[in-house]
Amino acid sequence: MKNGLTFFPKGVHFFRVSMQLLKAYWQETLAYRGMVIIWGIHSIMVPFVLMFVWLAVERGSNSPYQDGDYILYYLAMPLVMNFIDCWTVFTFPEELREGYFNRQLLKPLHPIWGHVFEHIAAKAFQLLCLVPIVFSISWFMGDYLPDIDFSFRKIALLFFALLFAVVLRFVMNTTLAMTGFWIEHVETLNLVFNQAIWALLGGMVTPIETLPPIFRIVTDVLPYRYTLSFPIEILRGKISNGEIIIGFVVMVCWLFLFSLAGRALWRAGLRIYTAYGG
Amino acid sequence: MNFRTFSLEFPRHARILIQFWKTSLVQAMEYRVNFMLGIGANAIDFTIGLVQYGFFFSVANSIAGWQKDQMLAFYAIFMTIFSLHFIVLFPNLEAMSQLVNSGALDLVLTKPISVQFLLSFRKLSFDEMGSFFTSQVLLLGLWATGRIDVSAQNLFLFFGALFCSFSFVYSFFLFLMAIAIRIEKLQNMAELMWSFFTFCRYPVDVFPRWVRSLFISLIPIAFITTIPAKALTVGVEPSTVIWGGFLAVVFLFAARFFWKTAIASYTSAGG
């Protein structure tokens, strides 16, 4: 590719560069630790409130979820949300607006990598804060939680489901962020496509497994479910093998589609980018 | 500026405020497409929030005793308060950290106007107008179709409770503004405000009994949305609203005191 912006640089050199970048972003995360911790608390609070809402709901007799299932679902959610959280849709357009992006383009590394390492560092730190809180609540509520078996197969599945969810969410958000080349404020698009619909069809407000069949057709086809509910469904263990396979296939399809779209937008965007500001 | 001079000079302040709001509108209109897009996106956001209740009630019969129509009224009232906070307070809170970090606050402090007043209401954000108007339409629709039955007493108590609600939101906001002066490192105070609103998004009746009584007696979460919504739909005891009013006064004075000490301790960013 032109001007050295190869997406996958080769060799030991790349490894050294990424280690350095990770270190730098880790320091930055530590500098803003107050903000990261506040954000972590916020991300626990939303599922926590929703858990109480569902426990207070007078359920019909056909509900597949009992109290324990809801508790498990909303306790696992902050952890999943921490993994999949992605904020390129805020930072990337800002780079474009403020003109920092020029600097990124000069570096001999694809600018996306900077975002990737920033996310890894911040999430690692947030996870360190979240895990003790979530585990102490689960210990406290242990009696109410349903039994979960942790076989090797399930842990492996969980790992891949989470990994794919993280990558899918990152690619989705970053693709949307690329529209920042044309649109002044991507945040409005993000609010609709990535937050409102995601909360609804991803399983945040209502666990996907409790939805009526008509809604299930929509949620199973769209990518949102796979970035939030899917790993938790695997953890709960009531999902059939067939459904898991279909889930992974749908995920890969969306990943492929969004990567292509993102790449196209990136190239077209670079061509029209005229660098305002300094 | 103390309260007495402020109330004497209120007309002047109001005129200045209107000028600032006009400027905000002009600034927002500069990006016309974005302006319209923001309002449109917001209306969609509001609608999706409504569909959420459809999802809820596809599984549930009632939420902690709240029926569907009552829940819709609850949502409309929540969105009214939430969007008003977004329109009037949020842009100012967002600007505050920036003012402190850049030292531009010095300039504001020298102006012959109430600093608290100016910094609290100076900017307007128009994105949430969509939510605000849609929730009014929803409330009116619920009332017009007879889904909520409002008596004169309930309406009176509702406005009383709503007034308490605004006071609490404002005191929390002022408290965060004061924190922004003391701690420069906090990038985005607005997120703390959202955490606070997370608890107000659903009726406090969903929480365990001890949390609920805490939210009514000391931490006024219940007064933000639950009490106004209850006042409108099923009615509340007047004593509850009176207690809310008392708490609101206490909170306003506490926030004001905290703000004054923070401003007094401000040492500028230097440079």
Q: How far is B173 from chain A (nearest CA, A)?
A: 16
Check: complex ipTM more than 0.90: no
Which two structure tokens, joined as six digits, stand for A90? 């805020």
User: pLDDT band for position A8 (50/70/90)?
Assistant: low
Which two structure tokens, joined as six digits, stand for B231? 């006042």
Q: Which one has a higher pLDDT value, A40 or A81?
A: A81
Residue B270 lies in a domain: no
Which among A39, A63, A184 is the nearest to B34, CB-wise? A184
Which among A52, A183, A195 is the nearest to B206, CB-wise? A52
Note whether A58 contacts B60, CB cutoff 8 Å: yes
Residue B208 lies in a domain: yes
- pLDDT, residue B38, reads 81
Smallest Cα–Cα separation from A126: which of A211, A40, A38? Answer: A40
Q: How far is A218 from chain B (nearest CA, A)?
A: 13
Instruction: Assess whether pLDDT exceeds 90 at residue A224.
Output: yes
Element (H, E) at B61: strand B60-63
What total of structural domains would you count in chain B? Answer: 1
User: pLDDT band for position A145 (50/70/90)?
Assistant: confident
Interface with chain B: mutation pick from A37, A126, A200, A208, highest number of B CBs within 10 Å: A200
User: pLDDT band for position B256 (50/70/90)?
Assistant: very high
CA separation, residue B187 to residues A125, A178, A213, B179 (Å): 17, 24, 44, 12
- pLDDT, residue A251, reads 94
Q: Which residue of A has its CA nearest to B43?
A: A192
A205 — contact with chain B (CB < 8 Å)?
yes
- CA B113, distance to chain mean position in Å, is 24
A142 — contact with chain B (CB < 8 Å)?
no
Q: Which one has a higher pLDDT value, A65 or B59?
A: A65
Q: Is A81 exposed, middle or buried (0-12, 13-18, 19+ CB in 10 A)?
A: buried
**Where are chain A's structural domains?**
2-272
- pLDDT, residue A278, reads 41
Q: How far is B71 from chain A (nearest CA, A)?
A: 12
CA separation, residue B184 to residues A98, B101, B111 (Å): 21, 6, 22
Across all residues in chain A, what is the average pLDDT? 85
Note whether B45 contacts A192, CB cutoff 8 Å: yes
Residue B99 lies in a domain: yes
- Domain of B240, in residue numbers: 3-264
**Residue B235, number of CB atoms within 10 A of its CB:** 15
The phi, psi pair for B62, rounded to 5°, reads -155, 160
Residues of B in contact with A41 (CB under 8 A): 195
Q: Which one has a higher pLDDT value, A150 or A276?
A: A150
Residue A105 makes CB contacts below 8 A (sequence gap 6+) with A5, A111
Q: Is B8 exposed, middle or buried (0-12, 13-18, 19+ CB in 10 A)?
A: exposed
Smallest Cα–Cα separation from B119: which of B138, B98, B137, B148? Answer: B98
Which among A55, A59, A188 is the nearest to B38, CB-wise? A188
Residues of A in contact with B34 (CB under 8 A): 183-185, 188
User: pLDDT band for position A15 (50/70/90)?
Assistant: confident
Residue B60 lies in a domain: yes
Which among A31, A34, A206 is the nearest to B59, CB-wise? A206
Crossing angle of helices B32-59 and B68-84, rounded to 10°: 150
Q: What is the pLDDT of residues A176-205, one digit of tens each?
A: 999 988 887 787 788 778 888 888 888 888
Residue B175 lies in a domain: yes
Residue B68 lies in a domain: yes
Yes or no: say if B125 and B188 are a contact pair by the CB < 8 Å rule.
Answer: no
- pLDDT, residue B271, reads 43
